[in-house]
Amino acid sequence: MIKAKLLILCFLTFQFVWVHGQSENSRFSISPHIGLGVLLPGSQKATEGNERMNYMWRFYNIGYTTNNQGQKSFNFKTTNRIGVNLNYRLSQSIDLSLGGTRINYVSAYNPSLNFDFQGQHVQAFIDDFNYLSLNFGVKYRAYNLYYVFQGNFIPNVNGFYERRTSKQASNNVASGEYTNESGTGLKFNTLVSNDLKYGLYFGIGQEMFLDGNTEFELGFSFALQPLYTEEIGFYRGGSLIGRNRNNRLINGIFVGIKQSFNFRKKEKRPKPIKKKEPKVKVNEDSFEIGEREVRIGEDLVMDEIQFEQSSSELDYFSQQSLNSIYAFLLRYPKSKIEISGHTSSEGDRGANIELSEIRAEACKDYLISKGINGRRIRTIGLGPDRPISRKEEELNRRVEVKILSME
């Protein structure tokens, strides 16, 4: 448990230090990720009698455990995944990734047969195994979400496997006999063990913070066949009273955090000329951008920033308008803003949303080139979804600015 806390602390510390020293918009990036999840139960069939193994929905096991030889120890295990991906941005909405993930699964089954083993009442049988997965995938961004599809190669899925009972320790075997002195208990027998090599992963996620590099993801990992099939015999007083056939899967649902770090070196940008300014009060109700007043959270249409159809190029007048935003950011050095891009309704909606994102990024890049820290600027592309004119489409090809915070 202490190791897990230290791992999370190191991960968050490292991402904070790295993100505050990186430039943006690199095509190459590296993204460590961690997550917790739960293993999904496999199919179960009673071939004899009515006894069953009841699946317990839990993502961890903590406490003392005992193996079938009576050895006891304290352990803490979770269903988790941790890994790293190397990413290449193919376009504004598509990334390719190559990476590796170490996955650990914990599953618990409560037998319907009540019995004692090694002086303890058996509460559950707990399986714990882990493996390395090498993956290649595609990430697609659409509006405010992204979608991940990966193919996984699994070189050693049977490499590390443990079975324990509640109040139990590691046994390092996939099958075993858990019966007490009176002959009451369970016997496990592996019938088919599949040498799994391939799996799939689907995920959906969203950016979490202003820097745009930290992501929250919900994913589903699965293989195309069971890891193994086993037969479980239920015994009372030495006599067989039931038999089950179970398929054990490596299918799981995970929630996780991913942090992307850019490879590109920081570019040398001109530093803004520091001028002695009077102390600025940030408890005002409204603030000036150019010659217009705007409140926090209020959208301000930058009328002078106009684009030709299907273009994201900034002309002279657009740059002059952005200079007023630059002056505002310079005057209020702790302020953060959002730049939203908009398009007309002409053409494909998906292409328009992508174009609006590029237009917003073009404005952000201009401000960064003048020395503004990119972490103070969030961009979003809304495409044709918020028109301001139904008759004059050129007015919809615009940029809006919103003050997010002043502190």
Which pLDDT score, from 0 to 100, does residue 205 have? Answer: 92
Q: What is the pLDDT of residues 122-136, one digit of tens each?
A: 888 888 888 888 999
Q: Do residues 101 and 83 touch, judged by C-beta distance below 8 A?
A: yes
Q: Do residues 23 and 39 touch, judged by C-beta distance below 8 A?
A: no
Listed in order, the ranges of the chain carrying CATH 3.30.1330.60 are 287-405
Which pLDDT score, from 0 to 100, does residue 168 have? Answer: 38
Band of pLDDT at residue 67, cut at 50, 70 and 90: low
The residue type of 37 is G
Listed in order, the ranges of the chain carrying CATH 2.40.160 are 23-262
The answer for residues whose C-beta is within 8 angstroms of residue 348's C-beta and 6 or more apart is none
Q: Do residues 345 and 384 touch, judged by C-beta distance below 8 A?
A: yes
Which pLDDT score, from 0 to 100, does residue 69 have? Answer: 64
- The Cα-based distances of 116 to 55, 70, 181 in angstroms read 19, 12, 10
Count of CB atoms situated within 10 Å of the CB of 404: 14
Average pLDDT over residues 361-380: 90
Q: What is the DSSP letter of 360?
A: H
Classified by CATH at the fold level, domain 23-262 comes out as Porin (2.40.160)
Which pLDDT score, from 0 to 100, does residue 6 have? Answer: 47
Taking the C-alpha atoms of residue 239 and residue 241, their distance in angstroms, rounded to an integer, is 6
Q: Residue 57 pLDDT > 80, yes or no?
A: yes
Query: Does an H or E element contain 400, and which?
Result: strand 399-405
Q: Residue 2 pLDDT > 50, yes or no?
A: no
Q: Do residues 203 and 219 touch, judged by C-beta distance below 8 A?
A: yes
Taking the C-alpha atoms of residue 382 and residue 398, their distance in angstroms, rounded to an integer, is 11
Report CA Rg, the chain. 29
Q: In DSSP terms, which residues pair with 233 in a beta bridge?
A: 187, 243
The residue type of 9 is L
Which pLDDT score, from 0 to 100, does residue 254 have? Answer: 95
Q: Pairing state of beta strands 336-341 and 377-381? A: parallel
Q: What is the pLDDT of residues 322-370, one digit of tens each?
A: 898 999 898 888 889 999 988 888 888 888 888 889 889 989 999 998 8
Which pLDDT score, from 0 to 100, does residue 34 have? Answer: 95
Lowest mean pLDDT among 24-33, 106-115, 184-193, 279-288: 279-288
Q: Which residue has the higher pLDDT, 335 or 118?
A: 335
Band of pLDDT at residue 156, cut at 50, 70 and 90: low
Taking the C-alpha atoms of residue 189 and residue 246, their distance in angstroms, rounded to an integer, is 10
Of the candidates 262, 265, 266, the one whose C-alpha atom is nearest the C-alpha of residue 29 is 262
The percent of residues above 70 in pLDDT, for the chain, comes to 80
Which pLDDT score, from 0 to 100, does residue 29 have? Answer: 87
Q: Residue 24 pLDDT > 80, yes or no?
A: no
Q: What is the pLDDT of residues 210-226, one digit of tens each?
A: 555 788 999 999 888 88
Q: Residue 238 pLDDT > 50, yes or no?
A: yes
Q: In DSSP terms, which residues pair with 293 in a beta bridge?
A: 288
Q: Residue 397 pLDDT > 50, yes or no?
A: yes
Q: Do residues 37 and 59 touch, judged by C-beta distance below 8 A?
A: yes
182: alpha, beta or left, given left = phi > 0 and alpha = psi -120 to 50?
A: alpha
Q: pTM value?
A: 0.57
Average pLDDT over residues 246-263: 87
Q: What is the CATH number of domain 287-405?
A: 3.30.1330.60
Which pLDDT score, from 0 to 100, does residue 112 have? Answer: 93
The answer for residues whose C-beta is within 8 angstroms of residue 104's C-beta and 6 or more apart is 77, 78, 79, 80, 81, 128, 129, 130
Q: Residue 55 pLDDT > 70, yes or no?
A: yes
The answer for residues whose C-beta is within 8 angstroms of residue 259's C-beta and 6 or more apart is 11, 15, 19, 31, 32, 33, 213, 214, 215
